[in-house]
Amino acid sequence: MKVMDSHMHLGDCRVFGCNVTEENLKEAMEKYQLSGFILQPYPGASDEAEVHKRIYHLTQMYPGQIFGVASVNPHMDEKQYKAKIRKYITEYHFKAVKLHTIGHAVHPF
């Protein structure tokens, strides 16, 4: 039976004060016998573009095991925000978009 972690983060987070590395992911896969992750940057990543790129590389290294989720703080120009999301979905083949209500300080309505 496959067991996936459906909510995992990669990189640093200035909001919650933590950091998850690729090595941490590998250790978690082994320790908990996981088949893979649905992976996203933390909402407070110091360089979200760099973390998205790291996630993309992991999806290429582990196809069918790691799936990317785009997570971009929407507090920017709308066209810039949409361009970033479009890039992560179309070029990086990420499977979803995460709007983090607490970490991005937004209300979805």
Please tell me what DSSP assigns to residue 91.
Answer: T
Question: Cα-flanking dihedrals φ and ψ of residue 64, to 5°?
Answer: 80, -5
User: pTM for this one?
Assistant: 0.93
Residue 104 forms part of a structural domain:
no
pLDDT of 109 > 80? The answer is: no
Say if CB 15 and CB 103 are below 8 A apart.
Answer: yes
Residue 107 forms part of a structural domain:
no
CA angle 26, 30, 34 (to 5 degrees): 90
Residue 82 forms part of a structural domain:
yes
Residue 109 forms part of a structural domain:
no
What is residue 20's predicted lDDT score, i.e. its pLDDT? 97
- Residue 106: band (very low, low, confident or very high) from pLDDT cuts 50, 70, 90: confident
- CA 107 to chain centroid, in Å, comes to 20
Residue 32 forms part of a structural domain:
yes
Domain range enclosing 80: 4-97
Number of domains in the chain: 1
Residue 58 forms part of a structural domain:
yes
- Residue 69: band (very low, low, confident or very high) from pLDDT cuts 50, 70, 90: very high
pLDDT in tens, 22-56: 999 999 999 999 999 999 999 989 999 999 999 99
Residue 70 forms part of a structural domain:
yes
